[in-house]
């Protein structure tokens, strides 16, 4: 485990210890040896000197009295020192007198004595000692001592040094190892820790204390640093994780456009990645001061059950954390057990000990809160709180955008709808204007027919029954035409058509329609070689209904036309009317129009009531069933369509039966008649109308002056006034070229304000309905004018 | 060549023989009394006299010869320039024992053989070291007797006589001499 970086420390330390110890040892032993050597040399010299002096002293008599024997005996005393290799005694003349050992070869001592003193040779110590008695020099003693003793001593020292080194080196090694261990262990441990940190980025490791003060200080500091790094690292890691989570959630919410799905994905992400044990979104209703559960976290379902929380359930908003949060504050309750409010207590009871409530704020308004909870107490770090705060801002923003998107989508849809409606209205308006023009002309055109027919029926008692029947039919047809023309204008009228309800015998209406439409279901198909078989099934004793007969007839006509069109290859057309009393007691009358034609698919069936929707191409207007539907609506009736492709269609109209309680709107009044003869000025641009009006009114006994055009009328009135023959009343058409009815009325009133003016108009019904009677006009009558209405108006204005 | 080598060898041998003969003759001529003169002088170094032996601290150290003087000039030569402590060395020659005044060492010549007993007696209780070469003189009371042995001069010392005279003879001298234990004359 020891890495190469740590080895040099050990080696260096070992080397240092060995070098220092070795140096000390070397210096010590060298000094010791040198000292010993020098001392030994000195002592050797001294010893030799002492010995020599003693011998020399003892040799004096032998020399003085020339006793060689004695001298030899004295020299023999050198035997005491085994290192004395040779000795010689010279007399005062320098001749050899005696020698030691006896029989010494001449080569072993100098022939002549040297100067007194001692000197070391290579292998010996040589000394010359003067032999004196008193001050008398008697001779010289030569001594040659080999250095055996010194060598022996040196050998001994060598051995000692060797032993010392031999013992001290392993000892030094052991001690240094021990010291090294003490010294290096903390360093190596620290190095190991550092390596672990740098290589593995593992900041959780800690250096171990060793008990050495400085190292422990160092280790503690190092560990403290590691702890701080670890904390920072963990914080950074958590921050990064949360950042990534925030990004993930932001991206996920960006892909969603509705609040619940945004909330759901946020909760899913939080539960999986924050994580948390329970989470939910509550929506805030500022007006009601309440919070409603919007979305619950999927993983925290168990807690939601324990908390008795469910989607769309209200959470009371009292003086708890929720209300603080609703005020725009992030609320963190580290220990909900200590919060004595209902909502935290609910959490605590469910086993959730800590919670964070983050407000969702858009434009300074808290529209909801995010509730996050965990089982443990104090489980949310400040970083997580901050994260949840930021997250709630993101979620609020995303929610806001989703709402904006929704609003935008709604506005766009509304706009499209409006555009569609406007287009339809525009089409209807164009159609209505066209219809209005046509209606005006038709009303003008049929006015003489209406007047003459009414006049004939009234005044010709001698008419045959047949002629009277024809005339009656003509009169009804004219009335139908007039109503149809009037109803055409209803298309572009914005308000509901005024409907005058009367008792209608449905059976009679059905028979009339079948008769009226015969050419369509019988004659035309037969021309193409196709057979349409029509069957009417009318129950006896059908009650009347309240309604507008002409509308019902039109509706039935349209239904029969559709049925014939649905059977291009012929088939059976059944019109059935029957009565049914419902379980709730409602008495209803049904009219079924069934065919065995091609039928409708589901899409067509669903759209068939839309105006302008047609399957007939250029032949259809797309208004037939729409008109039927309008009639149904106006009659509080019901429409039921059953159809299957290839089998046929059945349309059922269901009307409430007439009961005596139903208000009868129509009433027959006795028409008042003016008995005196009146001078009447007729102003119109239509000669036929003028003629017919003139004829019929003259027959009533009135004096009629007819003028063609507005200006002519005004002129005629002025001329008559000048003559003093004032008109009792003026009847003028509204729509005339150059000078129209309004101007005529205005001019008449200027000349004679008391003279009543009756305005006739092809648009009359609309003006009446619009309550738009022009000024100076006393009475407005619609074309075709009915004689009875005209008489009533005259009677009303000129009583 | 052979002739030349023989001549050269013979010359060398002759020269060496001449030199060695002269050395032997010289030594032999100087040897006995020259050596004995040195010996007498050397006695002054190995014998200790009491201060009472001198009349004055710087009184001369007298070496006397009684009877005929066998030394000739050798004794004087041996003493020349020598001094013992404060005492200058002086050689005096005496004819009779009565002539002898202060005398530290007295050499009694062979000629005094007849009078030796008297001399010893006369010198009794005087700090005079008596030296003689007379045979058996040490037994007769002479303190140091020269003898000749194997052509070498040897000493015989009567320690008791010397001690009686108040003289201390160095042990070194005693070791190289023959000690005579019989006390002569007394």
- Neighbour tally for B36: CB within 10 Å: 20
Exposure letters A142-178 (e unless 16+ CB within 10 A, then b): bbbbbbebbeebeeebeeebeeeeeebeeebeeebee
Nearest to B170 among A61, A62, A136 (CB): A61
Looking up tokens 């219809």 gives: A435
A550-572: average pLDDT? 89
CATH number of the structural domain spanning residue B69: 3.40.50.2300
Contact A134 B35 (CB under 8 A): no
Residues of B in contact with A70 (CB under 8 A): 175-176
What pLDDT shows up at residue B19?
Answer: 42
Give the model's confidence band at A441: pLDDT under 50 very low, under 70 low, under 90 confident, else very high: confident
pLDDT for position A652: 93
Q: Is residue B112 part of a domain?
A: yes
CA A391 to chain centre: 11
Query: In this predicted structure, which of A332-341, A365-374, B87-96 has the lowest mean pLDDT?
Result: A332-341
Q: How far is A168 from chain B (nearest CA, A)?
A: 56
| Preceding peptide of A275 cis, ω within 30° | yes
Instruction: Measure in Å the smallest separation between the Cα of B98 and chain A Cα atoms.
Output: 30
Note the pLDDT of residue B16: 43
Residue to mutate among B49, B172, B173, with most A CBs inside 10 A, is: B172
Q: Pick A62's closest partner by Cβ from B152, B154, B176.
A: B176
A70/B175 touch (CB, cutoff 8 Å), yes or no: yes
Q: Give the per-residue pLDDT at A651.
A: 93
Is pLDDT at B20 greater than 50 in this prediction? no
Beta strands in chain B (DSSP E): 47-48, 61-66, 83-84, 87-94, 105-108, 129-132, 144-149, 152-157, 168-169, 178-179
Q: Which residue of A has its CA nearest to B155?
A: A65
Instruction: Give the B-side interface with A, CB within 8 Å.
Output: 35, 38-39, 42, 45-46, 82, 84, 152-155, 170, 172-173, 175-177
Portion 129-168 of A in contact with B at CB < 8 A: 133-134, 136
For residue A589, the SS3 value is strand
Spatial distance between the Cα atoms of A266 and A245, rounded to a whole number of angstroms: 10
What is the least distance, in Å, from the CA of A88 to any CA of chain B?
18
Cross-chain residue pair A65–B45, CB shorter than 8 Å: no
Contact B172 A66 (CB under 8 A): no
Q: Report the candidate in A799, A796, A763 with the shortest Cα–Cα distance to residue A781.
A: A763
Both tokens assigned to B15: 């020269």
CA dist A282 and A312 (Å) reads 9
The Cα–Cα gap between B44 and B75 comes to 13
pLDDT tens-digit map of A616-664: 776 777 778 888 888 887 788 888 999 999 899 999 999 988 876 544 4
Q: Tell me the pLDDT tens digit for each residue of A173-215.
A: 888 788 777 777 777 777 888 888 888 877 788 877 777 777 7
pLDDT (tens digit per residue) in A571-629? 999 999 998 887 777 888 999 999 999 999 888 888 887 777 788 776 777 778 888 88
Give the number of A-B residue pairs with CB atoms closer than 8 Å.
42
Helix, strand, or coil here: A662? Answer: coil
Q: Say yes or no: do domains A7-161 and A256-380 share a fold.
A: yes
Mean pLDDT estimate for chain A: 83
Whether residue B10 is contained in a domain is answered as: no
Give a yes or no: residue B13 inside a domain.
no
For residue A69, the chain B residue with the least C-alpha distance is B176
Bridge partner list, B51 = none
Q: Give domain A679-797's CATH architecture.
A: 3-Layer(aba) Sandwich (3.40)
The half-sphere exposure of A442 on its side-chain side, counting CA atoms within 13 A, is 17
Average pLDDT over residues B2-28: 44
Which of A103, A92, A161 lies closest to A130, judged by CA? A92
Residues of B in contact with A134 (CB under 8 A): 45, 84
Q: Which residue has the tokens 């065995």?
A: A596
Nearest by CB to residue A61, choosing from B35, B153, B175, is B175
DSSP letter (8 states) at residue B31: H
Task: Select the more confidently predicted residue: B65 or A121.
Answer: B65
- Mean pLDDT (whole number) for B4-27: 44
Q: Is the pLDDT of residue A286 over 90?
A: no
Asked whether residue B166 is assigned to any structural domain, the reply reads yes
∠ Cα A252 A253 A254 (to 5°): 90
pLDDT at A672 (0 to 100): 64
Question: What confidence score (pLDDT) does residue A490 get?
Answer: 57
**Measured between beta carbons, which residues in chain B are less than 8 angstroms from residue A62?**
172, 176
Interface of A with B in 42-71 (CB under 8 A): 57-58, 60-62, 64-67, 70
Q: Decide if B154 is inside a domain.
A: yes
* Residue B153 to residue A58, Cβ atoms within 8 A: no
pLDDT of A707 > 50? The answer is yes
DSSP H/E element including A354: strand A354-362
In a domain, B119, yes or no: yes
Return the closest-CA partner of residue A590 out of A646, A494, A506: A506
A74: its two tokens: 């004295």
Query: Any idea what DSSP says for residue A83?
Result: T
pLDDT digits 0-9 by tens, A12-38: 877 887 888 888 888 888 888 888 888
CB within 8 A of A465, min separation 6: which ones?
none
Q: Residue A323: its pLDDT value, please?
A: 79
Q: Which of A57, A59, A65 to mutate to test the interface with B (most CBs of B within 10 A)?
A: A65
Closest chain B residue to A59, measured at CA: B172
> Given an 8 Å threshold on Cβ–Cβ distance, is A134 in contact with B39?
no
- Chain A residue closest to B170 (CA)? A61
Q: Do A61 and B153 touch (CB under 8 A)?
A: no
Task: Give the gap in angstroms from C-alpha A53 to the nearest C-alpha of chain B.
Answer: 14
Q: Provide the domain limits for residue B145.
A: 31-179
Each residue's pLDDT tens digit, B79-121? 888 888 888 888 989 988 888 888 889 999 988 888 888 888 8
Task: Name the residue facing B176 among A57, A67, A136 (closest C-beta).
Answer: A67
In this prediction, residue A560 carries a pLDDT of 92
CB within 8 Å: B46 and A61: yes
B35 chain-A contacts, CB cut-off 8 A? 66
Nearest to B138 by CA among B181, B186, B94: B181
Choosing among 3.40.50.360, 3.20.20.210, 3.30.450.20, 3.30.360.10, the CATH entry for A7-161 is: 3.30.450.20
ipTM greater than 0.85: no
pLDDT, average across residues A113-133? 87
Mutate to test the interface with A, among B45, B89, B146, B170 (most CBs of A within 10 A): B45
Indicate the fold that domain A256-380 takes in CATH.
Beta-Lactamase (3.30.450)
Number of domains in chain B: 1
Q: Which CATH number fits domain A501-656: 3.30.565.10, 3.40.50.300, 3.40.50.620, 3.60.15.10?
A: 3.30.565.10
More confident residue, A1 or A342: A342
B24 lies in some domain: no
pTM of the model: 0.41
Cross-chain residue pair A61–B173, CB shorter than 8 Å? yes
- What pLDDT is recorded for position A487? 67
Domain-wise residue ranges, chain A: 7-161, 256-380, 501-656, 679-797
């Amino acid at each position: 485990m020891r890495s190469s970086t740590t080895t040099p420390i050990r080696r260096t330390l070992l080397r240092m210890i060995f070098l220092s110890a070795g140096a000390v040892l070397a210096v010590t032993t060298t000094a010791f040896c040198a000292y010993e050597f020098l001392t030994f040399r000195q002592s050797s010299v001294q010893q030799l000197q002492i010995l020599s002096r003693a011998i020399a002293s003892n040799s004096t008599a032998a020399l003085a009295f020339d006793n060689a024997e004695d001298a030899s005996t004295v020299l023999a005393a050198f035997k005491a020192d085994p290192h004395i290799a040779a000795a010689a005694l010279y007399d005062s003349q320098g001749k050899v007198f005696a020698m030691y050992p006896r029989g010494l070869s001449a080569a072993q001592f100098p022939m002549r004595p040297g100067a007194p003193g001692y000197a070391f040779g290579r292998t010996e110590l040589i000394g010359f000692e003067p032999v004196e008695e008193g001050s008398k020099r008697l001779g010289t003693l030569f001594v040659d001592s080999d250095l055996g003793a010194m060598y022996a001593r040196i050998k001994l020292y060598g051995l000692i040094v060797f032993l010392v080194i031999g013992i001290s080196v392993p000892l030094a090694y052991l001690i240094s190892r021990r010291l090294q261990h003490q010294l290096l262990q903390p360093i190596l441990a620290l190095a190991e820790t550092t390596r672990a940190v740098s290589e593995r980025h593992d900041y959780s490791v800690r250096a171990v204390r060793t008990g050495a003060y400085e190292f422990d200080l160092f280790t503690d500091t190092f560990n403290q640093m590691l702890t701080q790094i670890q904390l920072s690292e963990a914080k950074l890691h958590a921050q990064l994780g949360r950042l990534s989570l925030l990004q993930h959630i932001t991206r996920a919410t960006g892909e969603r456009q509705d609040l619940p799905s945004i909330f759901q994905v946020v909760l899913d992400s939080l539960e999986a990645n924050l994580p948390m044990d329970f989470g939910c979104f509550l929506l805030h209703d500022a007006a009601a001061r309440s919070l409603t559960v919007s979305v619950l976290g999927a993983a925290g379902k168990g807690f939601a059950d324990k908390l008795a929380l469910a989607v769309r359930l209200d959470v009371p908003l009292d003086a708890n954390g929720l209300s603080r949060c609703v005020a725009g504050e992030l609320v963190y309750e580290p220990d909900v057990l200590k919060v004595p409010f209902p909502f935290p207590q609910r959490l605590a009871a469910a086993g959730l000990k800590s919670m964070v409530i983050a407000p969702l704020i858009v434009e300074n308004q808290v529209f909801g809160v995010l509730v996050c909870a965990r089982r443990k107490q104090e489980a949310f770090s400040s970083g997580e709180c901050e994260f949840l705060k930021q997250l709630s801002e993101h979620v609020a923003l995303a929610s806001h955008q989703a709402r904006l998107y929704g609003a935008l989508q709604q506005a766009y849809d509304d706009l499209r709808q409006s555009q569609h409606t406007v287009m339809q209205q525009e089409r209807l308006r164009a159609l209505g204007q066209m219809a209005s023009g046509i209606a005006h002309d038709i009303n003008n055109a049929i006015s003489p027919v209406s007047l003459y027919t009414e006049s004939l029926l009234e005044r010709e008692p001698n008419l045959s029954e047949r002629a009277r029947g024809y005339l009656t039919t003509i009169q009804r047809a004219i009335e139908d035409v007039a109503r149809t023309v009037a109803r055409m204008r209803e298309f572009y009228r914005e308000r509901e058509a005024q409907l005058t309800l009367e008792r209608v015998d449905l059976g009679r209406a059905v028979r009339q329609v079948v008769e009226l439409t015969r050419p369509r279901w019988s004659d035309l198909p037969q021309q193409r070689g196709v057979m349409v078989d029509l069957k009417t099934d009318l129950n006896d004793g059908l009650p009347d209904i309240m309604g507008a007969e002409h509308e019902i007839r039109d509706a039935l006509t349209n239904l029969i036309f559709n049925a014939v069109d649905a059977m291009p290859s012929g088939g059976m057309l059944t019109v059935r009317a029957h009565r049914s009393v419902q379980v709730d007691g409602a008495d209803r009358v049904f009219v079924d129009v069934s065919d065995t034609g091609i039928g409708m698919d589901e899409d067509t069936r669903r759209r068939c009531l839309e105006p302008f929707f047609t399957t007939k191409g250029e032949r259809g207007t797309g208004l037939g069933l729409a008109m039927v539907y309008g009639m149904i609506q106006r009659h509080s009736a019901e429409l039921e369509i059953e159809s299957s492709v290839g089998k046929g269609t059945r349309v059922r109209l269901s009307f409430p039966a007439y009961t005596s309680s139903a208000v009868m709107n129509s009433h027959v009044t006795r028409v008042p008649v003016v008995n005196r003869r009146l001078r009447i000025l007729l102003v119109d641009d239509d000669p036929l109308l003028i003629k017919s009006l003139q004829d019929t009114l003259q027959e009533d006994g009135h004096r009629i002056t007819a003028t063609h055009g507005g200006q002519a009328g005004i002129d005629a009135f002025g001329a008559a006034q000048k003559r003093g023959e004032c008109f009792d009343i003026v009847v003028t058409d509204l729509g005339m070229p150059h000078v129209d009815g309004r101007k005529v009325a205005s001019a008449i009133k200027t000349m004679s304000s008391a003279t009543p003016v009756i305005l006739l108009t092809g648009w009359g019904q609309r003006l009446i309905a619009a309550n738009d009677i022009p000024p100076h006009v006393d009475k407005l009558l619609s074309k075709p004018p009915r004689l009875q209405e005209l008489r009533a108006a005259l009677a009303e204005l000129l009583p | 060549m052979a002739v030349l080598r023989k001549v050269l060898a013979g010359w060398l041998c002759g020269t060496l023989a001449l030199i060695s003969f002269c050395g032997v003759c010289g030594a032999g001529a100087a040897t006995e009394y020259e050596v004995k003169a040195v010996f007498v002088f050397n006695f002054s170094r190995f014998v200790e006299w009491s201060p009472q032996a001198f009349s004055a601290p710087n009184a001369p150290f007298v070496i006397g010869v009684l009877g005929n003087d066998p030394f000739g000039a050798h004794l004087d030569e041996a003493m020349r320039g020598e001094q013992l402590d404060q005492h200058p060395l002086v050689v005096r020659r005496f004819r009779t024992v009565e002539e002898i005044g202060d005398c530290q060492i007295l050499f009694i010549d062979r000629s005094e053989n007849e009078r030796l007993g008297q001399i010893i007696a006369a010198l009794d209780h005087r700090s005079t070291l008596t030296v003689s070469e007379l045979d058996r003189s040490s037994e007769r009371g002479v303190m140091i007797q020269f003898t000749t042995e194997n052509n070498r001069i040897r000493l015989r010392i009567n320690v008791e006589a010397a001690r009686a005279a108040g003289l201390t003879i160095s042990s070194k001298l005693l070791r190289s001499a023959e000690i005579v234990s019989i006390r002569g004359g007394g």
